[in-house]
Every structure is written in structure tokens, then in C-alpha cells.
């Protein structure tokens, strides 16, 4: 006879808010009048805001675990939730402008974004591998559909969606196999119990090693670590840019949150097994991502490789597995979210409504055609390159010092070297925007509505994280990391 | 192993081998011995009744696929209700509430699919 | 120390390998999807086998239950298997929908010939 598990409403209220909003937008996208459908983005934003408030309430709850430890709303989870809510809100704003004129079947994007957001939140708060798996799949399935919402570019977006789905499901296979072996090694799927069993040394050594390897491969696909990155440039290029913006941030960071939950929370006692693997993956990812970005001429592909490189930096923090590492991962997650979303917002603006593939030459003279967008992109690129005083520098500093603390000086040195390489391709874009004349017949671009809000929000976010007032945020990340 | 038991295994093996040999030999024997008088009528699926108009293995309308997909989705969700039913007696009202939440979300999906016209054959 | 799950592990590994082979060699998108389903179902065998052999029911105890005479009560592997089944169905549905959409735009579903997006 067992009792009903402990349920603390406060701890899962943020999820309820997002799911209910998702359901409401889904129903309205089918049943609503034209007027109601025009209001969908606002409803989505409202729901995300409510979820944010609920998150603050969750912070005041007397316990952070619910459903018998299935949900674990610790500082790390709350931090990631804030990042995911902001990411989703900005993407909803971008979709409001850029999906407005597309057919009725594109209105489901708001519901899908909210469901994906809920999945990512579950991944970050998972206290059990079952919950982690459900979160991951909720996110992935929503993303597969969104990748296919190509509007006028149906062909390449369909192809991107199929590639994403096939590779994603492939990765899921590895991930679940890894979970099964971890279960076989420890007799439990609960993160806390796995950790106890591994620490007590009573876990089956072989199953544990193979299981962790398979889990790393599965999550490596999701966050696009080299050599599991092959899908990323194609999918990022083919998907609608709004969706690419989301894809480059949300699922990647959620993947790292999940990686942290598994490798650190569940398998820290076995760190000697996974640390070298992750170190090698991080080095290869940083090198390949940055070197491949050098030769790209399509801006979405360039940003795709750049995002692969950033995954390499974040992997350093996960690899270190210490306090500084988590602090770095958390701070860099927030930083990267703003920088990457800013860059993709400018790509959307420069694209106009033609939704064509953007060659980097089309950025020429953007400084004159759209000063605000050019300024934002400059801030984003300088931040990504890791030039002080922008937030990217501080984030990389934390990640690299975590790597040094864990005894990987050479790995950190390669990281610094890669950041230097990345300056080249980031600054090439800045030079194009300001030093080159615009293409013949290029118009002034007016930025309005939601897009402008999103652009300003990313800029403000980056500046807040960069300014000296950003330091309390670093401390906060440290506090969340406890 | 008991001696009787081992004899039983041998008997089972002999029976199996005989079945295999006879089953695979019969088609050959009939094709060797049987008379051969081919005609067009014999090639038809039905030798009597209406003459077939098209190939049976031809392309099938994609609408069947959509219907099958929807059936698969809603059918598979029942998999969650079976363990729920098994544990229901021990969990009481809490379980009722949980299942209602699950079914309500499922119902919203059903309504959405309905409204978007996935159940209509001629669209 | 054998746990009793080993024969199932071999079966599951063999099925997983067949699935992998299918994913890499199939040219038809539906064939690849079928192979992916095989991957997930191979893992399900693992989960159920482990659930019968190694799960000590610790999670259940955490939830307020008790171990009965040292017999394993844990069913978390079976729970995950059920989740995997339903997720596999959802993925298959979305996959088939995308394949239909691909067929409408390209008039074929051969994976190797989809090369609008290049490296």
C-alpha cells in the first residue's frame, strides 16, 4: 500500500501556466475569430509572464521537490527556467511579426513554442530520467513540426524538418539506450538514487560506462557537439529563421541542462569516466565550429557553426563539473541566449519578408540602412567573440577558469585560441555592415512592432549582463549553482 | 534431466524435422507430378464474378495515412490508462483527478484535430 | 555478477544493431522511420528486463511505499517503457506527416536525393 506522492502546487505552477497558455492558444488557433487569432502572440507572452511570476513564487516554496522527487526545482532549474521563458517570449515576439502573413496553419507556432518551452523546463527540473525523457521529447516533437513551417520556402524547410526528425529520433534511440543501461547499472531511474548507488560503488561498472557513453552521444546530438553536429547547419539553414533563432538557443541550453542533470547530479562519482570524453568532445567542437565558420557565406550557416562553437565552450563548464563550472554554464546560458537571439533578429530584419537565404554580402551597408539593427548585431557579434567588457567575455572567463580548476589547462588554452579565431569571422560581418556600401537598390529598413521590442530587449539584456551591475548576476548564478 | 524427458525432446525433434521436410517437399512434388495447362482465367484473382479493374497493389490514397496516424496517436494514449486502472484502487481521488487532467488535455487535442478538418474525407 | 537480464540484453542489442543498419542503408524515408522505431523498441526490451531483475523498488519506497519481503517492487523501467512507446508513436506520426509533405513538394521520398541544403 502506498500513499499519494507529495504534491506541492507552488513548485509546478510555472509548468501549469505554460501548458494552459499553450492549450488556450492551440484552441484559439483553430476555433478563434480573426480578432482572437491576431491576439495569440499577446496571450502567449502573457502566459509566459505569469509563468515567470509563478517561478518567483516557487522560489518561496518551503520545498523544491515535488511528486516524490520527480521534479527538482533547485536554483539551477529556476535559472534555466528564466532563460527559457525569456527565449520563448522573444521568439513569440519574432513570430508575431514574421508568421503574421503566412497561412492559417502557421498560427499553431505559438502553441508549439509554448509546449517546447514546457519541455525544456521539464528537462532542467528533472529529478528522474523519465521526466527528463518526457521533457526532451515534448521539446523535440514540437521543434520537428516548427522546422517544417516554412511558409513560402516549403521545400528547404521540409527537407530540414525531415533531417532534423531523422537525426533527432536517432539520437533519442541512443539516449534511451543509455538511460536503460544506467537503470540496469543502478536499479533506479531517480537521479538521487542513481547518484547514491554510484557513490556507494554498487553500480554495475560495465553498464554504467556504456550507459553514460550512450547518454553523452544522445545529448551530444541534441546540443550539436562535434562529431554529432552534421545536422545542425542544414537544419538551421532550412528552417524558418524565427524557428532557427529558437532552435539555436532553447534546445541547446536545455540539452546542457539535461547533460548537467545526468553527468553531474546523477553520475558525479563517476566523473573520472566521463570527464576525458567530454574534454575531447569540447576541444573538437570548439575547433571544428570556429574553423568551419570561417568559410561560410550564408549567414544562417555561419551562425549555425558559431552556435556549435559556443556549445563547445559550454561543454567545458559541464566537463569541469565544479562550482565555477556550473556558474559559468548558467551565466553563459543567459549571455548566449541574448546574443544569439539578437543576431537572428537582425538576420530576420535584413531578410525582410522575402524569407530568402541571406548571403553575408547582403549585410553590406546595414549600418546606414538600419542603424539600430546594425548596432545590435555589432554588440551581439562582439559579445560572442568574447571581447571585454561585454558579457561573452565574462562567461568565457568563468568557463575557461572552471576548466583550469579541473586540471585541463591545455583545453582552456585551446578555448582561448578558438575565441581568437572567432574574432575574424565575427568582425568580418561588422566590417561589411559599416565599411562597405550597400548593394544596388537596397532600401532603408524600418523596424517596427514586436521585432523592434525583441531587438531592444536583447540589447538591454546583453547590456545588463555586461555592465558592472552584471556582476551581481554572476553572484546570483553562483548562488543558483549551490 | 530425466530419461523420459530426454526421450520426449527427441520425439519433439523428430516430429519437427518430419514436419519441416514434408512441408518443404510437397510443393516440389506437386510441381513435378502435376499436369500443366495454363490459361488467362487462372491468373485472375477471382476466377468467377466481376473482372478486376485495377491492380490490388496500386497506390492508396494518402488520406488513409492521415486517418491511420490519428488512430495511432489516440490509440496509443490508452497505454497510460491501463496502469492507471491497475493502481486506481490504491490511489483513490488523487488518481481520478490525474486521469481527468490527462483526458482533458487529450480531449483538447481531439477537438483541435476535429476543427482543423482531419476527419473529413473530401476536403 | 549476472543479474538474469543478460539474454534480453543480447536480444535488445541485436535488434538495436538491426535498426542501426536499417537507418544507415535505407534510402526510403519511411524505411528509415521504421528502423528508428526498431531502435526505440529494442531499448524497451532492455527497460522491461531490467525492471524485472535489478529494480529494487527504491523509488517506490521514496514515494511512501514499502518493499514486500525483499521482492522487487520497482516498476520505473516499465513506466519509462510506456513513455517510450507513446513517444515513438508521436514521433512516427510527425515523421509520416513530414514525409507526406515532402512527397507533395518533391514527388519522391528518397532520403539521399534531398540535397537542397548542402554542407
Count Cβ atoms within 10 A of the Cβ of residue C71 and give its class: 0-12 exposed, 13-18 middle, 19 or more buried: exposed
Structural domain contains residue B45: no
Task: Please give the span between the terminal C-alpha atoms of chain B, in angstroms, as a whole number.
Answer: 68
Structural domain contains residue B77: yes
pLDDT band of residue C60 (cuts 50, 70, 90) is low
From the list B90, B92, B115, which residue is nearest A30 (CB)?
A: B115
Location of C-alpha cell 549476472: C2
Location of C-alpha cell 523519465: A130
* Residues A217-262 pLDDT 10s: 999 999 999 899 989 999 998 899 999 999 999 999 999 999 999 9
Average model confidence (pLDDT) across chain A: 89
Tell me the C-alpha distance between A461 and A93, whole Å.
Answer: 15
| Chains with at least 3 CB pairs less than 8 angstroms from chain B | A, C
Q: How far is C119 from chain B (nearest CA, A)?
A: 32
pLDDT band of residue A471 (cuts 50, 70, 90) is low
Structural domain contains residue B29: yes
Q: What pLDDT score does C69 carry?
A: 44
Mean pLDDT of C94-116: 85
Max alpha carbon distance in chain A (Å)? Answer: 77
ipTM: 0.91
Q: How far is A345 from chain B (nearest CA, A)?
A: 31
Domains of chain C and CATH, by start: 6-110 (1.10.287.3510)
Tell me the C-alpha distance between A114 and A29, whole Å.
Answer: 13
Q: What pLDDT score does B79 carry?
A: 87
**Residue B108 and residue A23: Cβ atoms within 8 Å?**
yes
| Chains with at least 3 CB pairs less than 8 angstroms from chain A | B, C
Our CA angle for A141, C41, B113, nearest 5°, is 35
Q: What pLDDT score does C70 carry?
A: 43
Under 8 Å between Cβ of A176 and C84: yes
* Residues A94-121 pLDDT 10s: 999 888 877 777 889 999 999 999 999 9
Write out chain C residues lying below 8 Å of A161, CB-based.
98, 101
| Chains with at least 3 CB pairs less than 8 angstroms from chain C | A, B
Structural domain contains residue B52: no
Mean pLDDT of B11-22: 93
Structural domain contains residue B56: no
Under 8 Å between Cβ of A398 and A335: no
Q: Are residues B75 and B30 in the same domain?
A: no
Mean pLDDT of A417-422: 93
**Helix extents (H) in A265-370:** 271-294, 299-320, 323-351, 366-369
Q: Give Cα A287 to chain centroid, integer Å.
A: 20
Structural domains in chain B (count): 2
Q: Between these two residues, A6 and A482, which has the higher pLDDT value?
A: A6
Q: A201 CB near a chain B CB, below 8 Å?
A: no
Q: Are residues B28 and B66 in the same domain?
A: no
Q: How far is A188 from chain B (nearest CA, A)?
A: 19
* Residues A289-316 pLDDT 10s: 999 999 998 899 999 999 999 999 999 9
3-state secondary structure of A128: strand
Structural domain contains residue B109: yes
Mutation pick from B79, B82, B102 vs chain C, by most beta carbons of C within 10 Å, is B79
Mutation pick from A7, A8, A20, A23 vs chain B, by most beta carbons of B within 10 Å, is A23
Q: Are residues B74 and B111 in the same domain?
A: yes
- For residue B111, the enclosing domain spans 62-115
Q: What pLDDT score does C71 carry?
A: 45
Mutation pick from A2, A3, A4 vs chain B, by most beta carbons of B within 10 Å, is A4
**Residue C89 and residue B83: Cβ atoms within 8 Å?**
no
CATH number, position B74: 1.20.58.1610
Q: What pLDDT score does A449 carry?
A: 85
Nearest to A412 by CA among A285, A310, A282, A218: A282
Q: B89 CB near a chain A CB, below 8 Å?
A: no
Write out chain C residues lying below 8 Å of B66, CB-based.
100
Q: How far is B86 from chain A (nearest CA, A)?
A: 13
The rounded radius of gyration (Å) of the Cα atoms in chain C is: 19
| Buried/exposed A329-343: b ≥16 CB within 10 Å, e otherwise | bbbbbbbbbbbbbbb
**Residue C29 and residue A166: Cβ atoms within 8 Å?**
yes
Amino acid at each position: 500500500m502506498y500513499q499519494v506522492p507529495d504534491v506541492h502546487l507552488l513548485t509546478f505552477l510555472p509548468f501549469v501556466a505554460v501548458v494552459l497558455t499553450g492549450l488556450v492558444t492551440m484552441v484559439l488557433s483553430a476555433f478563434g475569430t480573426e480578432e482572437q487569432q491576431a491576439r495569440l502572440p499577446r496571450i502567449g507572452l502573457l502566459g509566459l509572464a505569469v509563468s515567470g511570476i509563478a517561478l518567483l513564487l516557487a522560489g518561496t516554496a518551503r520545498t523544491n521537490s515535488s511528486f516524490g522527487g520527480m521534479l527538482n526545482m533547485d536554483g539551477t532549474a529556476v535559472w534555466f527556467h528564466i532563460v527559457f521563458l525569456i527565449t520563448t517570449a522573444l521568439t513569440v515576439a519574432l513570430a508575431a511579426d514574421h508568421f503574421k502573413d503566412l497561412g492559417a496553419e502557421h498560427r499553431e507556432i505559438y502553441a508549439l513554442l509554448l509546449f517546447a518551452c514546457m519541455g525544456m523546463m521539464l528537462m532542467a527540473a528533472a529529478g528522474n530520467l523519465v521526466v527528463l525523457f518526457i521533457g526532451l521529447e515534448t521539446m523535440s516533437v514540437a521543434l520537428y513540426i516548427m522546422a517544417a513551417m516554412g511558409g513560402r520556402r516549403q521545400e528547404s524547410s521540409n527537407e530540414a524538418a525531415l533531417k532534423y526528425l531523422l537525426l533527432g529520433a536517432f539520437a533519442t534511440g541512443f539516449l534511451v539506450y543509455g538511460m536503460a543501461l544506467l537503470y540496469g547499472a543502478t536499479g533506479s531511474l531517480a537521479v538521487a538514487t542513481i547518484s547514491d548507488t554510484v557513490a556507494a560503488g554498487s553500480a554495475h561498472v560495465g553498464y554504467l560506462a556504456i550507459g553514460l557513453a550512450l547518454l553523452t552521444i544522445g545529448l551530444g546530438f541534441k546540443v550539436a557537439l562535434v562529431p554529432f553536429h552534421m545536422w545542425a547547419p542544414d537544419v538551421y539553414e532550412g528552417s524558418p529563421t524565427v524557428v532557427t533563432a529558437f532552435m539555436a538557443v532553447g534546445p541547446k541550453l536545455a540539452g546542457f541542462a539535461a547533460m548537467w542533470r545526468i553527468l553531474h547530479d546523477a553520475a558525479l562519482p563517476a566523473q573520472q569516466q566521463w570527464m576525458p570524453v567530454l574534454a575531447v568532445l569540447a576541444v573538437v567542437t570548439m575547433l571544428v565550429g570556429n574553423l568551419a565558420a570561417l568559410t561560410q557565406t550564408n549567414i544562417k550557416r555561419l551562425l549555425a557553426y558559431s552556435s556549435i562553437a559556443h556549445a563547445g565552450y559550454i561543454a567545458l563548464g559541464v566537463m569541469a563539473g565544479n562550482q565555477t563550472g556550473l556558474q559559468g554554464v548558467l551565466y553563459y546560458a543567459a549571455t548566449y541566449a541574448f546574443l544569439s537571439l539578437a543576431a537572428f533578429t537582425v538576420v530576420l530584419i535584413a531578410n525582410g519578408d522575402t524569407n530568402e537565404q541571406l548571403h553575408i554580402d547582403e549585410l553590406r551597408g546595414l549600418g546606414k540602412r538600419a542603424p539600430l539593427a546594425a548596432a545590435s548585431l555589432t554588440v551581439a557579434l562582439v559579445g560572442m567573440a568574447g571581447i571585454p567588457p561585454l558579457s561573452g567575455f565574462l562567461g568565457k572567463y568563468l568557463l575557461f577558469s572552471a576548466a583550469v580548476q579541473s586540471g585541463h589547462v591545455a583545453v582552456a588554452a585551446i578555448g582561448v585560441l578558438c575565441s581568437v579565431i572567432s574574432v575574424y569571422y565575427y568582425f568580418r560581418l561588422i566590417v561589411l555592415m559599416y565599411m562597405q556600401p550597400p548593394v544596388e537598390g537596397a532600401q532603408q529598413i524600418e523596424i517596427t512592432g514586436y521585432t523592434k521590442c525583441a531587438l531592444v530587449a536583447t540589447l538591454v539584456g546583453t547590456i545588463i549582463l555586461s555592465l558592472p551591475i552584471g556582476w551581481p548576476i554572476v553572484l546570483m548564478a553562483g548562488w543558483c549553482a549551490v | 534431466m530425466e530419461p523420459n524427458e530426454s526421450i520426449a525432446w527427441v520425439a519433439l525433434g523428430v516430429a519437427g524435422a518430419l514436419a519441416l521436410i514434408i512441408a518443404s517437399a510437397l510443393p516440389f512434388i506437386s510441381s513435378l507430378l502435376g499436369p500443366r495447362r495454363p490459361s488467362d482465367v487462372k491468373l485472375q484473382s477471382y476466377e468467377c464474378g466481376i473482372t478486376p479493374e485495377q491492380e490490388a497493389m496500386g497506390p492508396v490514397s494518402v488520406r488513409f495515412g492521415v486517418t491511420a496516424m490519428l488512430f495511432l496517436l489516440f490509440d496509443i494514449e490508452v497505454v497510460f490508462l491501463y496502469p492507471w486502472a491497475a493502481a486506481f484502487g490504491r490511489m483513490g481521488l488523487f488518481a481520478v483527478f490525474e486521469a481527468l487532467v490527462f483526458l482533458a488535455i487529450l480531449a483538447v487535442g481531439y477537438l483541435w484535430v476535429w476543427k482543423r478538418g482531419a476527419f473529413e474525407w473530401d476536403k | 555478477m549476472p543479474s538474469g537480464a543478460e539474454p534480453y540484453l543480447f536480444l535488445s542489442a541485436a535488434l538495436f544493431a538491426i535498426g542501426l543498419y536499417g537507418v544507415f542503408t535505407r534510402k526510403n524515408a519511411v524505411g528509415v522511420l521504421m528502423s528508428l522505431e526498431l531502435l526505440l523498441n529494442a531499448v524497451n526490451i532492455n527497460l522491461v528486463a531490467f525492471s524485472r531483475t535489478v529494480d529494487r523498488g527504491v523509488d517506490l519506497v521514496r514515494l511512501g511505499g514499502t518493499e514486500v519481503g525483499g521482492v522487487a517492487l520497482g516498476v520505473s523501467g516499465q513506466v519509462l517503457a510506456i513513455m517510450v512507446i507513446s513517444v515513438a508513436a508521436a514521433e512516427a506520426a510527425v515523421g509520416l506527416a513530414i514525409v507526406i509533405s515532402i512527397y507533395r513538394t518533391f514527388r519522391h521520398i528518397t532520403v539521399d536525393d534531398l540535397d537542397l541544403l548542402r554542407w
